[in-house]
């Protein structure tokens, strides 16, 4: 059966960058009065394998963002700018205009807005009044893969339409400065800010790019406290269990094998692995569980090092790197995979 195709994926990063040592120095002042072992906190920060991150605001402005309202207002402003930039880049690369888009899906887990960011971009960028919208909140890191799947579902039903998936994640604006728990320290070292826009076309438009052959979602019962947020008076407080790599090792091989078997395939048929940048332990768990070669996840490792974990945008950044490289050849198969709150997994099978 003809399948929708991913025409392009565009990325956008904020204009402010800080290397990891600079970020550690800025946080040290916050930690020193709250924890007896600053050296241990710095070790945790460096262990995530991130060289630096792009920030939604200049580093010196974060001290003034003392309330959830201030941080969320900053999130809305930056999300609109980055969202507009990534959508514009995706449309330009495809030679299209906002009026050519029939469906707009927006995913995030780092800020709140009603009307949602996608609605505000309809006005700002000039989408048609009859564009359909699907804003999704709460899927976290898995939303890049899950959003790709949901957009492909729409285009299977409407094969002459075009759709955009927009992910905007500004993790730095969720930072809880008074929280010196291991989960928060690791998160403050791991997660970064960025946006990605994926443009997909229905099969009857006969566009270029990899086909979305099949998708799958897997939910793991009774794992709600593995990853997510607690919503407290000061905003988003991270829930991040040390068991995440264990969950990956326990489940991902069976999930991937079952998914591929249903398509008449096996792991050896996959040429390109597109994994979200969950952190060093998560990427190693992917490699071990799936018995991948040493270079299979090179793009994920590079993205982690260069920009950190961008939550839902991460797997889209890695896919964008693959598309830009030109390494994929006609007939190649690729597998997008991401995991997130629930705890759950999302899988997307691609064919060039």
Beta bridge partners of residue 340, listed in sequence order = 344
End-to-end distance of the chain based on CA atoms, in angstroms?
15
Q: Considering just the CA atoms, what is the radius of gyration of the chain in Å?
A: 19
DSSP code, position 317: H
Contact status, residue 279 vs residue 314, Cβ threshold 8 Å: no
- Using DSSP bridges, classify how beta strands 5-12 and 193-201 pair: parallel, antiparallel or unpaired: antiparallel
- Nearest in space to 166 (alpha carbons), one of 151, 188, 155: 151
Question: Residues near 6 by Cβ (< 8 Å), separated by ≥ 6?
Answer: 148, 198, 199, 200, 209, 210, 212, 319, 323, 350
Q: How far apart are CA 333 and CA 288, in angstroms?
A: 20
Question: Residues near 72 by Cβ (< 8 Å), separated by ≥ 6?
Answer: 111, 112, 113, 173, 235
Residue 103, φ and ψ in degrees, nearest 5: -140, 140
Which H or E element spans position 34?
Answer: none
- Nearest in space to 300 (alpha carbons), one of 327, 25, 287, 14: 287
Could you confirm whether 141 is annotated as catalytic? yes
Q: Would the CA dihedral through 81, 86, 89, 95 be positive or negative?
A: negative
Q: How far apart are CA 300 and CA 314, in angstroms?
A: 8
Contact status, residue 255 vs residue 290, Cβ threshold 8 Å: no
Q: How far apart are CA 55 and CA 42, in angstroms?
A: 19
| Catalytic residue selected from 105, 141, 171, 344 | 141
Which residues are catalytic, by number?
141
């Amino acid at each position: 059966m003809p399948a929708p195709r991913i025409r392009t994926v565009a990325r956008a990063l904020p204009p402010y960058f800080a290397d990891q040592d600079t970020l550690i120095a800025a946080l040290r002042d916050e930690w020193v009065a709250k924890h007896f072992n600053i050296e241990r906190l710095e070790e945790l920060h460096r262990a995530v394998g991130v060289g630096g991150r792009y920030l939604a605001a200049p580093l010196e402005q974060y001290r003034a963002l003392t309330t959830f309202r201030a941080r969320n207002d900053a999130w809305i402003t930056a999300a609109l700018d980055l969202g507009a930039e990534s959508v514009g880049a995706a449309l330009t690369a495809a030679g299209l205009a906002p009026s050519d888009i029939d469906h707009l899906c927006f995913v995030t887990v780092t800020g709140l807005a009603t009307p949602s960011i996608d609605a505000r971009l309809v006005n700002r960028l000039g989408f048609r009044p009859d564009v359909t919208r699907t804003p999704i909140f709460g899927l976290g890191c898995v939303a890049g893969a899950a959003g790709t799947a949901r957009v492909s579902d729409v285009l299977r039903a409407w094969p002459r339409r075009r759709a955009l998936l927009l992910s905007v994640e500004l993790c730095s604006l969720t930072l809880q400065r008074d929280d010196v728990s291991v989960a928060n320290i690791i998160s403050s070292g791991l997660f970064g800010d960025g946006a990605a826009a994926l443009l997909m076309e229905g099969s009857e438009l006969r566009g270029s790019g990899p086909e979305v052959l099949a998708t799958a979602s897997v939910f793991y019962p009774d794992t709600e406290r593995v990853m997510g947020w607690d919503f407290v008076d000061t905003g988003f407080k991270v829930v991040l269990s040390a068991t995440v790599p264990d969950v990956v090792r326990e489940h991902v091989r069976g999930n991937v094998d079952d998914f591929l078997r249903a398509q008449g395939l096996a792991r050896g048929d996959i040429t390109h692995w597109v994994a979200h940048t969950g952190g060093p332990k998560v990427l190693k768990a992917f490699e071990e569980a799936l018995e991948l070669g040493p270079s299979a996840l090179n793009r994920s490792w590079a993205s982690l090092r260069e920009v950190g974990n961008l939550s839902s945008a991460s797997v889209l950044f890695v896919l964008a790197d693959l598309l830009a490289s030109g390494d994929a050849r006609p007939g190649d198969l690729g597998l997008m995979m991401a995991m997130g709150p629930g705890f759950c997994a999302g899988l997307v099978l691609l064919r060039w």
